[in-house]
Structure 1
């Protein structure tokens, strides 16, 4: 039985429970009302019998009759008439020794009265319920006194219990009808409520919904994507662990907190702008100070029934995918591709020059061949020797050499200002590539369109910070501090729209630079075409473990 009930839906269980409660309450109400009505009927019967008995006891005809030679002949017809007129079941007039003078059953006349008469003999009228010759009855016994006040007889008037039940039945019928109406109305209300619950719970039972909630809760907090649920007023109802990490929110505690307005969560403006919208979003890139997020957003609507055209917006579901590392790897790959192309071009150029030198030697012009080879070697080797002697950071060294080759290939003067010795910084190599590589690429692109293209790179350490300054011969960004926002580019106007927002995929490199600088706890300044980044150098306790990867 219990297992069968467990399979019921919530609506069915609620309907059965409400119906049972209503029936129980109705039964209790009927029982209480029946008990009260029975007491009222018995009180009415006692009062009526007492009034009839007292009326008879005070009647002079009765007083004279009980003292006559034949009381039965005098009083029996009188008693029968009074019973009929007063609608009582019996009137018994008796002698003080219980001998009956009158009775509804003539065969009982002259027999002993059954019941208590002691109080009446003492001159006190009383009422009681007693089982006599006519069965259980409500009777009143009153003394009949002569002129001197002496008790000369007794009169008992009563109504049988069967007749009181008849009177009670009419009142109980009304109560039962009212109870039935109450049960019907309650059942109807319960049925309507159960239909609503069945619709909103899709007919699922409590145990099934509990299991579903446990499964969904587990899935919600275990998926690798961020998930944000908002209500119809764009308040955040729920954010899973990954969303809390990506958006910088407190970790979910497991308790059901009240919906939180967006302006109370301290979200990055770019994220808050997307979450504040009411439309759907597909693969929109949002850059925060620490992450590059791809946002998808669906609108949730509610319909009363399938195909209902009057859909109501109840909220949104937003998924957040972290593409920070992907964008960084894309930038690194672009740097490596550029370096590879530059080296390939240089190899081709060196092959041409080598053929020229060989031709000069074959023509017997060895002095000119030596001069050509020495000049090319001096131009390319001077910077390499300077970098190799000063820089101990292998990633930074390789990056500068590659960018120098790229600048030479593009005909841009590339100057590097270094201290006598630049020790290993301990900064994550990926962050170094992102920051220095993107800034130099940005400078090379800006300088390429100037009459005398040049890029200057200055790297130094001071006050426990690595300071990287990169300047170019260009005019500097036209967008000021907005140059680090997603979609804002420093590329020439033909590569972007008039406002500086790229239309060819530009505008994410400097946004990644700002993210990396923020993650490392540094700061960045822009003065004209000069970008200066200051990064705190890790101490022994905070330096990254070689080979370690982000979790």
Structure 2
């Protein structure tokens, strides 16, 4: 069954904002129209009452009522109605009998026969009031006021002033036309604004739909959690915004620890993320201590335009990287050994085949015997002196590598390395020995050419394991002897060197060993002597410098 097609976000936003604008405009229009209508009716009523009170206080009106001068009162009310644009002005005596009215036939009759209201509140209570009623002249807003005798304050009559409701409704319609016109323009502007807002919002989220954003968020979270490196991100205020499970595990924090939303310095007081945030300079492959663990950290500032909005850091335990590096080193060593053996034996097999074809059988047998004897002697020496198969295999590989380079790796027949501590990491020891021998072979080949010799001697007597590697290279310059073990320092050309001896130093520091370097003669040659205690005395990789 095909998935239900969803309306696009832009369409939904325009429809929603447009609907809100329509409802808002409709409510405002209804309220404004109602308020305007009521205000106008009230204003006309107040005007009618004000005119009524003014007429009731006129001496001419008072005298006309007292003298019951109907003709003068009608003439006067007609003039006043015209002047005040009133529908009518009616005057009655204290019994609500009309003395003046626009229709002469109504004069002399009770005002109650018009709308049932004879002006009780004005004639009895003496108060002016406003009323809306249907009379013989049509529906009107009326203001009624009592006429008082100025000598004794007695109520002697009533004045009723009326304004046509049709006039009020015409005024209301006029103002409503203007009001609804303005509201229509406002509605149109609101709809256009909804289109603009929806378009800008859609561009701000790269044209994605909410469902697509949700999918990307889930994908991003899954990707973040699948990365084996710890990842922490902070915003410009130093607040943690993102952290993955690997980060919590690496830092030794509980998975339920509330980390997101807290300042980075509360979780990692020793963190340098704030300095990267202020400087904006990325930091790669920095070895640091975090929560008593040695780690390799990469820090990268996040930018929005020219502003730094945060920093993201990825980190991993240093020993994990060392383990990977050591595995790569072993693979390289195995590959070198196989390649050198293949190359060497291929040449010798070709030589033997040629001797047989020439009929020089004795020479072929002699070559085979010497080869077998040489290898048997080396293997016998390694089995006797170095029973550990990992170290013996490394030395055998380096021996074959030397022969491929046209050099000789001589192992002292008096060497002995049988008392190896069980907790000594063989892979690290092999990496250290391999680096020293490789450096010696390279230095010898560059200085003496073919047939140069590198000598190795080993002893496990006493409380230390001692390895000596002598080469026939140019030696180590005195000014480099104290720096040769620093990262990046090398006597070779190129930027890809200067790491092997640094790794040697790192291993020795962690185990508590030491190494010395000395030149053998003015003509050249150097000796590297490695000392490893059988019981480790150095700093543990999980111990920070301040605690060791």
TM-score (norm 1): 0.65
- Alpha carbons of structure 1 residues 246 and 121: separation in structure 2 relative to 1, 3 Å: closer
Give 3-state SS (helix, strand or coil) of 1:140's partner: strand
Aligned to 2:168: 164
Kindly provide the CA deviation profile for residues 115-169 of structure 1, in whole angstroms up to 9, marking residues without a partner as x: 3633312453322233231565432221112343221111111324333333334
- Alpha carbons of structure 1 residues 350 and 257: separation in structure 2 relative to 1, 3 Å: farther
Task: Give 1:403's match in structure 2, choosing from 398, 403, 406.
Answer: 398
Q: How does 1:72-83 map to 2 (within 5 A)?
A: 73-83=71-81
Q: How does 1:469-508 map to 2 (within 5 A)?
A: 470-474=469-473, 475-476=475-476, 481=483, 485=487, 497=493, 500-501=494-495
Asked whether the equivalents of residues 233 and 241 of structure 2 are also in contact (C-alpha less than 8 Å), the reply is: yes
CA distance in 1, matches of 2:172, 2:422: 103
Aligned to 2:142: 139
Kindly provide the CA deviation profile for residues 157-205 of structure 1, in whole angstroms up to 9, marking residues without a partner as x: 1324333333334444444344334333333333222222233334432
Asked whether the equivalents of residues 95 and 101 of structure 1 are also in contact (C-alpha less than 8 Å), the reply is: yes
Aligned to 2:83: 85
CA distance in 1, matches of 2:250, 2:491: 28
Structure 1 position 275, deviation (Å): 5.3
Q: How does 1:7-156 map to 2 (within 5 A)?
A: 7-9=7-9, 11-68=10-67, 71=70, 73-106=71-104, 108-109=106-107, 110-113=109-112, 114-115=116-117, 117-122=119-124, 124-133=126-135, 137-146=140-149, 147-156=151-160
- Alpha carbons of structure 1 residues 36 and 479: separation in structure 2 relative to 1, 3 Å: farther
Give 3-state SS (helix, strand or coil) of 2:94's partner: coil
CA distance in 2, matches of 1:534, 1:229: 42
CA RMSD of aligned residues (A): 5.9
Aligned to 1:439: 436
Give 3-state SS (helix, strand or coil) of 2:418's partner: coil
Aligned to 2:524: none
Aligned to 2:272: 264
CA distance in 2, matches of 1:220, 1:446: 46
CA distance in 2, matches of 1:266, 1:150: 92
- Alpha carbons of structure 1 residues 288 and 54: separation in structure 2 relative to 1, 3 Å: closer
Structure 1 position 430, deviation (Å): 4.4
Kindly provide the CA deviation profile for residues 481-510 of structure 1, in whole angstroms up to 9, marking residues without a partner as x: 466657x7655xxxxx4xx446xxx66755
- Alpha carbons of structure 1 residues 239 and 86: separation in structure 2 relative to 1, 3 Å: same
Does residue 189 (structure 1) correspond to residue 188 (structure 2)? The answer is no
Structure 1 position 57, deviation (Å): 1.1
Aligned to 2:517: 527
CA distance in 1, matches of 2:476, 2:8: 72
Structure 1 position 396, deviation (Å): 0.8
CA distance in 2, matches of 1:536, 1:128: 115
- Structure 1: where are the runs of 5+ without partners? 278-285, 303-311, 360-371, 492-496, 543-551
- Structure 2: where are the runs of 5+ without partners? 266-270, 289-293, 316-320, 519-526, 541-548
How many corresponding residue pairs?
480
Task: Give 2:203's match in structure 1, choosing from 195, 199, 204.
Answer: 199
Q: How does 1:363-382 map to 2 (within 5 A)?
A: none
Structure 1 position 86, deviation (Å): 0.3
Asked whether the equivalents of residues 287 and 511 of structure 1 are also in contact (C-alpha less than 8 Å), the reply is: no
Aligned to 2:411: 414
Structure 1 position 333, deviation (Å): 1.0
Structure 1 position 258, deviation (Å): 10
Aligned to 2:291: none
TM-score (norm 2): 0.65
Q: How does 1:289-328 map to 2 (within 5 A)?
A: 324=325, 325-326=327-328, 328=330
Give 3-state SS (helix, strand or coil) of 2:408's partner: coil
Structure 1 position 39, deviation (Å): 4.6
